[in-house]
Amino acid sequence: MVGEDQVYHIILLRHGESVGNAEGRHQGQSDFPLTDTGRAQAHALARRWQSEGVGFDQVIASPLLRAYQTAEIIANTLHLSLEVGEVWMERDNGYYAGLTPEEANRLYPRPAFMSPYRFVGETGESQWELYLRAGRAIQDLLDRPAGRYLVVSHGGLLNMVLYAILGIAPQANFQGPRFRFNNTAFATLTYYPDRHIWALSGINDRLHWPQPSPAL
């Protein structure tokens, strides 16, 4: 039987609601802070985990404000150290960054066919590049000692992290499964390195902040 000191317990958390979310913008790596609702979501999750006795050996956050502020609220409440990891940033979406969908469609219309190697927003990361970066993010996490890790990141990257873990290749025209991450919703994973087994035991957990799921 594998001891707990040899097992990785990982929670992948999407940030709270940001100003960009509230305004319906393509955020990418543009740096929107949390809204009051986003801060309330982070506090609600922190209180939930505090009441459940949940703890982590390390909190790792994307440096973008919406993720870092979410992580900071949780780390302060649970008295945990907080580390910034640039590999966990959201996709670089090129010229789309900060635009509304209407503005993006008017200024930089998407071609009828998008291979997974084509840059998003003309100058941003392709789906394949994001997938490869997700792989590096996983590698960075598993280069650390086994333990309990909270990663606070973004929906686009976290989808590609799950693609990489589950062995799903990026597809043309952004087809393929989509893993829902509402604001401050999280996925729970366990990794057994001696057998290379991943167990996904929860997805889009948001019991601390019930809300309707938006259409994909």
Q: How far is CA 14 from CA 32, 90, 108, in A?
A: 14, 10, 27
Q: Check: CB of residue 47 under 8 Å from CB of residue 74.
A: no
Alpha-carbon dihedral 26, 28, 30, 32, rounded to 10 degrees: 70
Instruction: For residue 13, give the nearest of 56, 144, 166 by alpha carbon.
Output: 56
Q: What is the pTM of this model?
A: 0.95
Nearest of 18, 105, 97, 67 to residue 186 by alpha carbon? 67
pLDDT interval class at 1 (50, 70, 90): low
- Residue 194 has φ and ψ, to the nearest 5°, of -70, -20
Pairing of strands 58-61, 8-14: unpaired
Which one of 3.30.360.10, 3.40.50.1240, 3.40.50.300, 3.20.20.330 gives the CATH number of domain 4-205?
3.40.50.1240
pLDDT, tens only, 153-212: 999 999 999 999 999 999 999 999 999 999 999 999 999 999 999 999 999 999 999 876
Q: 187 near 205, Cβ under 8 Å?
A: yes
Note the maximum CA span of the chain: 58
Going through the chain in order, the beta strands assigned E by DSSP cover 8-14, 58-61, 82-84, 148-153, 186-192, 197-205
The band of 42, judged by pLDDT with boundaries at 50, 70 and 90, is very high
Q: Give catalytic residues, as residue numbers.
A: 15, 90
> Which sign, positive or negative, has the C-alpha torsion 145, 151, 157, 158?
positive
Selection from 28, 53, 177 nearest residue 104 by Cα: 28
Over residues 68-77, mean pLDDT: 98
Tokens of 215: 């259409």
Domain boundary assignment for the chain: 4-205
